[in-house]
Amino acid sequence: MLPQFDDLSRFRALLSEALGPDMAARTGAEDRNGQLTKPPGALGRLEDLAIWYAGWRGDARPEIKAPQVIVFAGNHGVTAQGVSAFPAEVTVQMVANFQAGGAAINQLARAAGARMDVHALDLDRPTADFTQSPAMSEEEVVAALRAGWRAVDPAADLLVVGEMGIGNTTPAAAIACALYGGDAADWTGRGTGVDDAGLANKIRVVREGVALHAGQGDGLDVLRRLGGRELAAMAGAIAAARVLRIPVILDGFICTAAAACLDASIAGALDHAVAGHQSAEGAHGALLERLGKQPLLSLGLRLGEGSGGALAIQILKGAVACHSGMATFAEAGVAEG
Ligand SMILES: O=C(O)c1ccc[n+]([C@@H]2O[C@H](COP(=O)([O-])O)[C@@H](O)[C@H]2O)c1
Ligand SMILES: Cc1cc2nc[nH]c2cc1C
């Protein structure tokens, strides 16, 4: 049973106490990898991925049978400052599209053989504009973390979390700037496609928000002050997966910013996560570098919804299929070099 929490300090404690990978399964997977019918290292990063997956699943010869994709949606008070190329009503409209099966993520999750769930978080109650006050109270951020935590199917063997939230590249940029420093312009991109004047305005908004909330607490406090409900729910789901030893594939800029809040609060909180892709949002590469994560794909996507993460399920499935299905040199009667 997954334990529950009522406040941020208990959430921190649960994440700090989470166990690491099963080292015996990992060593077993390394041994098996060394015996498979291929030149050593010839499957490149697929070999590391399979070994990483085996350790977290506690099985030296694992299979991926039950991937889960969860899309969280939230609305943002900061959209009143004109930070997006699209109106805020698109968030609820896209939720209906996800539910009807018409969005990109519906197709990509199906193509990857993944179950897909959608959770809309208080869309009629946007977060506060973070240039004026914290985006969320502790009660609100805890409710969103819990929504994410509870959305994870304990029987899933792989998790992708994605988001939908008009305006949410602004909180994501503010989080990155608050966590890692530098100028707001270094972390702020065009999101859904704001023009040059829109970008300058967005940089101002990020700069003001970061200045207002500077130096107040750890990564989870940054998430509360500058984030949003769908970002907190993604963080909650990633944390639950860490406790349940379910490997995670991260999606784009917003998902990675949410994950970075966990990493900044608790060392090792993202050891069970790989980067699915590098998004076209300008600062995503820098954010992944800060987390020490190399993206599996780089396809110029800037959609969110978990789209890049869902595509990367197929890479991980390929890695695990080779690892667990290939013959060894001895089994196949192939001479070793
Ligand atoms: O995943 C990404 O890297 C990504 C980059 C740019 C935009 N998005 C999506 O676009 C929306 C946010 O863009 P914006 O311009 O409204 O801040 C939100 O619904 C995200 O899912 C997502
Ligand atoms: C149409 C649309 C679809 C999206 N999916 C994720 N973010 C989005 C933003 C827009 C504007």
Q: Residue 328 in 3-state DSSP?
A: strand
Q: What is the reported pLDDT for 337? A: 84
Taking 90 as the threshold, does the pLDDT of residue 1 lie above it? no
Ligand 2 centroid, distance to 111 Cα (angstroms): 20
What confidence tens digit (pLDDT) does each residue in 246-276 have?
999 999 999 999 999 999 999 999 999 999 9
Closest ligand to Cα 251: 1
Ligand 1 centroid, distance to 254 Cα (angstroms): 7
Q: What is the reported pLDDT for 151? A: 98
What confidence tens digit (pLDDT) does each residue in 179-193 have?
999 999 999 999 999
Q: What is the reported pLDDT for 234? A: 99
Closest ligand to Cα 165: 1
Q: Residue 28 in 3-state DSSP?
A: helix
Q: Which amino acid is at 224?
A: R
> CB–CB of 231/163 below 8 Å?
yes
Q: Does ipTM top 0.95? A: yes
Q: What is the reported pLDDT for 124? A: 98
> CB–CB of 157/303 below 8 Å?
no
Residues at CB less than 6 angstroms from ligand 2? 86, 90, 94, 164, 192, 303-305
What confidence tens digit (pLDDT) does each residue in 77-108 have?
999 999 999 999 999 999 999 999 999 999 99
Closest ligand 1 atom, CA of 172?
A: 17
Pairing of strands 248-250, 115-120: unpaired
Ligand 2 centroid, distance to 166 Cα (angstroms): 7
Closest ligand 2 atom, CA of 86?
A: 11
pTM of the predicted model as reported, rounded to 2 decimal places: 0.99
Q: What φ, ψ does residue 15 adopt, rounded to 5°? A: -70, -35
The residues annotated with a catalytic role in the active site are 305
Query: Of the candidates 275, 277, 279, 220, which has an alpha carbon nearest to the alpha carbon of residue 248?
Result: 275
Mean per-residue pLDDT, 192-206:
98
Ligand 1 centroid, distance to 86 Cα (angstroms): 10
What confidence tens digit (pLDDT) does each residue in 42-91 have?
999 999 999 999 999 999 999 999 999 999 999 999 999 999 999 999 99
